Each structure stands twice: as C-alpha cells, then as structure tokens.
Amino acid sequence: MTLFDLIPGDCLAGMSQLQPQSIDLVVTSPPYNLGIHYGNFSDSAKRETYLDWCEQWATQIRRLLRPNGSLFLNLGSAPSNPMLPHELALRLRKFFVLQNTIHWIKAITLPNELGVEEMSRGHFKPINSPRFLNDCHEYIFHFTLYGKTPLDRLALGVPYADKSNIARWSHTGGRDRRCRGNTWFVPYATITRREKERPHPATFPVQLAVNCILLHGLTKTKQMLDPFLGIGNSAIAAERCGVRKFTGFEIDEEYLAEARRRLAMPAS
C-alpha cells in the first residue's frame, strides 16, 4: 500500500519542510511557460523570470534527492518557441548532471508489415500554420546528482528482433531482452469529454510515470515526489508500482481534489 501525502499549496514552501536526502525519485512536469491556461497559475512569465523560478525549485529538489536519486523532468515546447526545454536543461546543469534524454513519442506513422501502407498511432494537437510541423513529441530529461545512478535498463526491455543476437552478444546473458532505448511511444488514452476525463491542460500519461519508476528501479524507489502534482497521474503510477510513500504538491485546489478522487482518498 502506498502512503500518500498530497499537500495543497506552493511546492517551494512545501519542499523546504521536507528532510534533506529523503527522496529516491522525482517524476514531474512543471508549467511550460507557453501561455497554457491553468486554474491558479500564470503560465506566461518573462523568460528570465520563469527560468529563475525553475532554479528555485531545482535547488530544493537537489537538496531532497538521495545520492543515487533520479529526477525525470517532462518538458514540452511550442513550435514557435522550441528552445525553452533546452534553455531550462542548461540552467539545471548548476544542480544536476543530465544522465539521459528520453523522447516521449505521442504519435508516429510507420509502414505496415508489408511495407505497402502507412498507419498512424497515437494522438497529437494539430497546428494550423504553414511554417511548422505538427509537434508529436516531448522531452523527458533524466537528471541525477553525479551522472552515475544505476538504472534497471531491462525493466522496460524489449525482445530482440534478430534472435541470433542473444547468442552473439555476451552481455545478453542468454536472455531475449534488450534495453528499450531513449524513445518511448506512450500515446494518450482516447477520450470523448476532455473536461471530465482529463480536466487538466497538460498532463502526461500514467504509463509515462510508470516507465520512469521501473527504469529507476522498483526496489530502490521507496519515497517519490512530484512537486507539480496536477490531477495526480504520477501518484497513480506510484500506487500501481507499489511505491512505499508518495508526496505531491499542488497549488490548484480543484486539481488536488481531482487527484484525491482518482486515488479514492478522502477529501481534506
């Protein structure tokens, strides 16, 4: 059973009350500063103001992470503002080492097995512009304190397409399993009524957070944190994976109430 501590209010004040080096894993997605309409948060600050604010919460996360902890940071961009995730990643080099960059693929088009037709999978937001392509991916930046955090690479492993590789490569240990790599196709679930089924403008799928937990390592993830809880997808992932304790902060009371409802927690 996961012990949940879902706390209303600003994460900067909340994280300052937590014990240093008490968190194994952070999976989160801060506001992107792209003008998205959230309930109680202005997502249109000046660029430097936004990046300075990000340094404030990054300072707290660094203080809270254990030496072999992981921060999986989901960041998106707009085609007209493509550098923001990279600018933030550069700022965060003051606090962390960028150990891995994962590409979250939301939609993809591939030929079928016969190679005669193309088929599309997943969902994306169309762009009505002659200048830009539809944006079908986001970043998951995997930050650690020293760049040396071991991962359970095969927890998300996939079978070899060429089975001769199993015997050819000694590192397989005879197992039909290889590292999935840094491209994750995780589509959104199909919904019919966004305001009821996904009442938040910028959520990541539960499965994306599950992937992060599995990759960091189930046995190593005893305490998990999400400073920007939203409607609680990271908390649901923690519950599915049996994480012992989960702490989340959310400034919007309606989002927090929805997270509690989805976790079948009593209202506070």
The helix or strand, by DSSP H or E, that contains position 238, with its residue range, turns out to be helix 233-241
> Rounded distance, CA 108 to CA 257, Å?
34
Instruction: Locate 157 and state its tokens.
Output: 């492993």
Instruction: Locate 61 and state its tokens.
Output: 């996360």
Q: Check residue 35 and give its pLDDT.
A: 55
CA distance readout (Å), 161 to 100, 115, 158, 166, 177? 24, 17, 9, 10, 10
Q: Check residue 190 and give its pLDDT.
A: 67
Quick one: average pLDDT of 122-129? 86
Only one residue has tokens 């919007």, namely 252
Q: Check residue 34 and give its pLDDT.
A: 65
| Beta-bridge partner residues of 224 | 25, 246
Contact criterion met (CB below 8 Å) for 184 and 214: no
pLDDT digits 0-9 by tens, 128-157: 889 999 889 999 999 999 999 999 999 999
pLDDT at 89 over 50: yes
> Rounded distance, CA 23 to CA 29, Å?
17
CA distance readout (Å), 67 to 18, 22, 110, 203? 16, 10, 41, 28
Q: What percent of the chain has pLDDT over 90?
A: 72
Backbone CA torsion sign across 260, 185, 72, 222: positive
- How high is the mean pLDDT of the chain? 90
Instruction: Locate 20 and state its tokens.
Output: 């240093």
Q: Check residue 204 and give its pLDDT.
A: 93
Strand 97-105 relative to strand 137-144, pairing: antiparallel
Domains of the chain: residue spans and CATH? 3-262 (3.40.50.150)
Please give the model's pTM, rounded to 2 decimal places.
Answer: 0.90
> Rounded distance, CA 100 to CA 92, Å?
14
3-state helix, strand, coil in the chain (%, to 5): 30, 25, 45
Q: Check residue 193 and give its pLDDT.
A: 52
